[in-house]
């Protein structure tokens, strides 16, 4: 659906060239929501803007729906771009136009009649829940509503691809959730392919089926969201994931563990952090540890969440038991797909 081959992007900066993209190869499948995450300056905006050639890459090829955009210019490129909608962090609405007229703009530019425009804009406003606000100006609606206008405008030319450049970064968490829910809804209803860039794993967690992690102009990791959350391979991914599943146990939890252990050396006790995903989270593994391996467990901390409809979470347990049983129990957990880490608590 979308294929990027060997993409390089170099800008002329005041202190010399800036290599914003350094050899990106990426495939996005038809009908999926693909998330691109990275820290500030990693190259995310540069990447997403190459997909519709808002930035023409210095080197490399961009293919969308089998058409090589990098080989197009002028009218050919303009036509291809109509198949790619885009929403922006700061909405990019025209303040002098009403909500209705902002959504109508791309259709006007494409030469549609007033009747055609009306027949397209009204259902779009209904889709994004703004039919009652059609006559308001951007200054008279909230940030979340502005983004709904931006989404309706992006959909006006019936694109098959939607690019989202930090669409929720200017919004509060609750509005972010509602905008992401809307993106999911339209992706499902219209069968859109969505590429969404963000610096927040919470956003990825809510909507992306697959993701790529960027750092310094390169993709350092990519895969299915649940898999990457469960087994992040790159340090940058792990750091970004700390937002959703912190690696460090909170200090009060560690203090409680120390209090539980008391002053006596307890060679048979281990503090373990278990990361469950999908399959592992659905089995009665903790009762197995007690019944089959004779361990004593204190649950000291935990959180359970959902990623792509699958349970995902972490649990910190203080496990008491003799070394052979403990090792067998940990093997059992790992076989069931649970990631097991020993946490130092001294």
Ligand X SMILES: Nc1ncnc2c1ncn2[C@@H]1O[C@H](COP(=O)(O)OP(=O)(O)OP(=O)(O)O)[C@@H](O)[C@H]1O
Residues that bind ligand X (CB under 6 A): 11, 13, 18, 20, 38, 40-46, 199
In angstroms, rounded to a whole number, what is the distance separating the alpha carbons of residues 243 and 228? 14
In angstroms, rounded to a whole number, what is the distance separating the alpha carbons of residues 43 and 116? 39
CB 214 to ligand X: min, Å? 7
Tokens of residue 212, six digits: 């790529």
Secondary structure (3-state) at 67: strand
**26 versus 319: smaller Cβ distance to ligand X:** 26
**14 versus 265: smaller Cβ distance to ligand X:** 14
Alpha-carbon torsion, ordered 127, 133, 139, 144, to 10 deg: -30
CB 169 to ligand X: min, Å? 8
**242 versus 341: smaller Cβ distance to ligand X:** 242
**40 versus 95: smaller Cβ distance to ligand X:** 40
Q: Determine which helix (DSSP H) or strand (DSSP E) holds 236, and give its type and residue range.
A: helix 235-241
CB 17 to ligand X: min, Å? 9
Tokens of residue 196, six digits: 């969404």
CB 227 to ligand X: min, Å? 23
- DSSP letters, 117-160, are HHHHHHHHHHHTT-GGGTT--GGGS-HHHHHHHHHHHHHTT--S
**136 versus 199: smaller Cβ distance to ligand X:** 199
SS3 content of the chain, % helix, strand, coil (to 5): 40, 30, 30
Residue from 194, 198, 178, 203 nearest 85 by CA: 194
CB 29 to ligand X: min, Å? 23
**55 versus 314: smaller Cβ distance to ligand X:** 55
In angstroms, rounded to a whole number, what is the distance separating the alpha carbons of residues 102 and 152? 9
**44 versus 148: smaller Cβ distance to ligand X:** 44
Strand partners, 198: 37
CB 41 to ligand X: min, Å? 4
Alpha-carbon torsion, ordered 71, 104, 126, 139, to 10 deg: 110
CB 47 to ligand X: min, Å? 7
């Amino acid at each position: 659906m979308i294929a990027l081959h060997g993409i390089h992007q170099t800008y002329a900066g005041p202190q010399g060239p800036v290599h914003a993209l350094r050899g990106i190869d990426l495939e996005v499948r038809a009908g999926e929501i693909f998330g691109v995450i990275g820290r500030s300056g990693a190259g995310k905006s540069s990447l997403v803007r190459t997909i519709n050639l808002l930035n023409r890459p210095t080197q490399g090829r961009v293919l969308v729906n089998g058409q090589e955009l990098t080989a197009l210019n002028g009218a050919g490129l303009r036509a291809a771009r109509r198949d790619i909608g885009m929403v922006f962090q700061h909405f990019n609405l025209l303040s002098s136009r009403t909500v209705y007229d902002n959504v109508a703009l791309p259709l006007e530019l494409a030469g549609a009649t007033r009747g055609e425009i009306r027949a397209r804009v009204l259902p779009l406003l209904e889709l994004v829940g703004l039919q009652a606000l059609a006559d308001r100006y951007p200054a008279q609606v909230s940030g979340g509503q502005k983004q709904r206008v931006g989404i309706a405008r992006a959909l006006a030319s019936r694109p098959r691809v939607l690019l989202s450049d930090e669409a929720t970064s200017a919004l509060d968490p609750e509005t972010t959730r509602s905008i992401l829910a809307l993106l999911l809804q339209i992706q499902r209803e219209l069968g859109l392919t969505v590429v969404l860039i963000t610096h927040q794993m919470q956003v990825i967690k809510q909507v992306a089926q697959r993701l790529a992690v960027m750092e310094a102009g390169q993709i350092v990791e990519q895969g299915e969201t649940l898999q990457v959350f469960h087994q992040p391979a790159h340090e940058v991914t792990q750091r970004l994931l700390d937002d959703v599943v912190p690696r460090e146990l909170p200090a009060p939890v560690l203090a409680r563990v120390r209090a539980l252990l008391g002053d006596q050396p307890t060679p048979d006790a281990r503090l373990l952090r278990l990361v469950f995903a999908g399959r592992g989270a659905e089995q009665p593994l903790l009762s197995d540890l007690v019944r089959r391996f004779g361990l004593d467990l204190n649950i000291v901390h935990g959180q359970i969440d959902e990623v792509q409809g699958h349970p995902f979470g972490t649990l910190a347990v203080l496990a008491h038991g003799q070394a052979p049983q403990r090792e067998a129990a940990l093997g059992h957990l790992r076989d069931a797909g649970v990631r097991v880490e020993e946490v130092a608590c001294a």
